[in-house]
Chains A and B, each alone.
Chain A
Amino acid sequence: MDFKIGLATRDAYGKALAQLGASMEEIVVLDADLSKSTKTEVFGKEFPDRFFNVGIAEANMVGMAVGLASSGKIPFVSSFASFLMCKAFDQLRMGVAYSENNVKVVASHGGISLGQDGASQMAVEDLGLASLLPGFVVLCPADEPSTRDLVEVMACHQGPVYMRVGRPKMPIVHGGGSSRLRDGKDATIVACGWMVAPALEAADILAKEKGLDVRVLDAYCLKPLDRKAVQRAAEETGALVVAEEHLAGLGLGAHVARAVLETTPVPMEFVGLEDTYAESGDPDGLMEKYGLTAHDLMEKVLRVLQRKKTQAK
């Protein structure tokens, strides 16, 4: 498919945050020596007094954000998703989730699409970990426009929010605000982040080559999930594939599976990494090796349609 290529979601975040900083004086930003990569440096240059680079110390960073939030500030903390969620999970649990503090966590380099740096830098557990924190809203936007809009939404929301952003430039998939990017009646692909564009591509090819009509939902908000849209997809299309750049079924997949099982159980398949870490490589090569391409999605759609047919008999 021919997508217009937009900014990386991390760049969209950095830009939006600096813009928002002008109108919302309560916003303060903390980073752990990765501000050039997470793009919080844009805010830091604009508002040096409200920017804290704490050095390579994620636990202390989240702790400081907790203290700032409990004195009325709106702290955004950023680092790589793997370091922030793994090294500061206890601080997020105690100081943010359990304490109901208004802290915004924006983690860059989510998923494996960061490529060459390898598995130590790749977060394939972050969406699951963030989902495990009671009260957290969990976001995984697919492109520049949705990231930009969500930065403002999260700043205005009272309570903890996690948002994953990524390193590579992303195709623009959003025209408006709707999460249903493509209508269809045969099956539905529910995707977030990186996987949204391949989902649209898979739906396009399936239409052209097999005459199938596949719906695509962008579930940029994992928690709380748009349960109505998922239920409607289950009722109207009778088969679902969930796709995420994450351990399969344990981030977005878990949320969608629960919504489907509690409303309209239908056959489901999951696309993601299968109980493994990834490795260094170019993003496209990695997606191919670990089964995260439009082609993989097509296969899963065909498999779920087979199951739907068998069940109907």
Chain B
Amino acid sequence: MKCSRQELPDMAAKLRAHVIRMIAEAGSGHPGGSLSATEIVTSLYFHVMNYDPKKPNMPDRDRFIMSKGHACPVLYAAMAEAGFFPTEDLLTLRKLGSPLQGHPDKVRLPGLEASTGSLGQGLSIGIGAAMAARLDGKDYKTYVLLGDGEIDEGQIWEAAMAAVHFKASNLIAFLDANQQQLDGWTKEIMNLEPLADKWVSFGWHVQDIDGHDFDQILKAIEQAEGEKTKPSMILCRTVKGKGVSFMEGEVGFHGKAPTDEEAKQALAEIEKR
């Protein structure tokens, strides 16, 4: 399902509301990193990517890998709105028997590209998918969403080297730089700034943008898709918990569900925006 540029903010609000309802119903989950990534995921699923929810394994599909697996609520919300499964199923998140596992499980949920939840693995998987496209002469793209806490993992930098070495220009990564990880501010836990310089020095095509601005996101994706030799990193400056005043920049909502009262307030804010 595609949206026009003008419809994207409404879709993002819809996904945010799903995220709040799902996590409140489950009683646990990670709202902060879902809300910071909402515009990125909305852009991909409703304006950019080629896929068919009725044929989730279609060989020519664009690939999306949610490497920061704990942000799966926003991905599930997007998949439901896109038609992979009914939106009612979103409220089964984290419940016994549900395909919507606490972290993505591709065996249980068709349409997921990778099972993630142990951080640091998605970029490598993305390179593999990108190499398969090259071997098969296909022009699908592979998109990987990383967290800025996640890139503490050494495997990320193994993959950063390899993607450039193998000239994976059909690989586009997003870094959801919401500046917070479980234990606190990234600059205090493990400071990786200057972020853009690091990726540039590894040989990536890097763009540094506002990760909540649809115009900037879409333009950056277009630029990245035009890149013919290097993998692309779209460094998205975001706010953790974006869209819900009492969650924004509040590290406590990295991995905590809102109470019923908080959920009501959050939904009212999202509605009113």
Contacts and interface: CB of A to CB of B under 8 A. Distances in A.
Nearest to A64: B128
Interface string A48-66: 0110101101011111111
A52 B168 CA distance: 13
A91 B117 CA distance: 11
B129 A60 contact: no
A290 to B, nearest CB: 33
Contacts of A64: 124-125, 127-128, 131, 162
A48 B71 CA distance: 38
A67 B162 contact: no
Nearest to A98: B115
A232 B159 CA distance: 49
B177 interface: no
B131 A63 contact: no
A249 B230 CA distance: 50
B86 interface: no
Contact of A68 (B113, B123, B132, B159): B132
Binding site secondary structure of chain B: helix
A167 interface: no
Contacts of A62: 124
B161 to A, nearest CB: 7
Interface residues of B, number: 36
Nearest to B124: A63
Interface in B41-93: 59, 63
Contacts of A71: 59, 63, 128-129, 132-133, 136
A63 B105 contact: no
Interface residues of A, number: 31
Interface in B157-208: 158-159, 161-162, 165-166
B135 A63 contact: no
Given A54-B162, A57-B162, A66-B128, A94 B155 contact: no
Interface string A79-113: 00000000000110111001110000000000000
Residue among B128, B154, B158 with the most chain A CB within 10 A?
Answer: B128
Nearest to A90: B118
Given A60-B124, A63-B159, A67-B124, A72 B118 contact: no
Contacts of B121: 59, 63, 66, 90-91, 94-95
A309 B144 CA distance: 64
B126 interface: yes
Nearest to B125: A67
Contacts of A70: 106, 113-114, 125, 128-129
What are the nearest 6 A-B pairs in CB distance? A67-B128, A63-B124, A71-B132, A60-B158, A57-B158, A64-B128
Interface of A: 28, 49-50, 52, 54-55, 57, 59-73, 75, 90-91, 93-95, 98-100
20 contacts: A57-B158, A57-B162, A59-B154, A60-B124, A63-B125, A65-B128, A66-B128, A67-B126, A67-B128, A67-B142, A68-B132, A70-B113, A70-B114, A71-B59, A71-B63, A90-B118, A91-B155, A94-B116, A94-B117, A95-B121
